[in-house]
């Protein structure tokens, strides 16, 4: 028996840094985009993150993540 992998989904999560609150705690906000193509290149996804951050009032782009789910099964 062979083990195979099946791609379920990919998402892009962009986390933005909006500075500090009155208690010196970081204000981070995340936006998640679903239905990202499995073959989307990392550089392209990072560029989307930087462009999106530029459209907001945030101070800094904190993080760009690709979230993928795969099923592994016997075929």
Any domain includes 32: yes
- pTM, full prediction: 0.84
Could you list the beta-strand ranges (E) of 1-75.
3-20, 26-33, 60-74
Any domain includes 28: yes
At residue 57, the pLDDT reads 87
Residue range 9-21, pLDDT digits in tens: 999 999 999 999 9
At residue 59, the pLDDT reads 74
What's CA 69's distance to the chain center, in Å? 13
Any domain includes 3: no
Confidence of residue 46 (pLDDT cuts 50, 70, 90): very high
With a cut of 90, say whether residue 22 has pLDDT above it: yes
> Domain containing 52: what range?
10-68
Any domain includes 2: no
Burial (CB count <10 Å: 0-12, 13-18, 19+), residue 46: middle
Phi then psi for 25, rounded to 5 degrees?
Answer: -100, 135
Is residue 58 within 8 A of residue 18, CB to CB? The reply is yes
Any domain includes 5: no
Any domain includes 4: no
With CA atoms as reference, report the closest residue to 37 among 68, 72, 4: 68
What is the percent of the chain where pLDDT is above 90?
Answer: 92
Total structural domains within the chain? 1
């Amino acid at each position: 028996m062979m083990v195979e992998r099946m791609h379920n989904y990919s998402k892009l999560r962009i986390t933005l840094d909006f500075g500090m609150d009155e208690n010196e705690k970081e204000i981070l906000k995340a936006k998640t985009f679903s239905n990202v193509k499995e073959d989307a290149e990392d550089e392209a996804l990072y560029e989307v993150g930087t462009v999106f951050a530029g459209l907001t009032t945030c101070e800094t782009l904190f993080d760009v993540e690709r979230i993928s789910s795969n099923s592994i099964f016997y075929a």
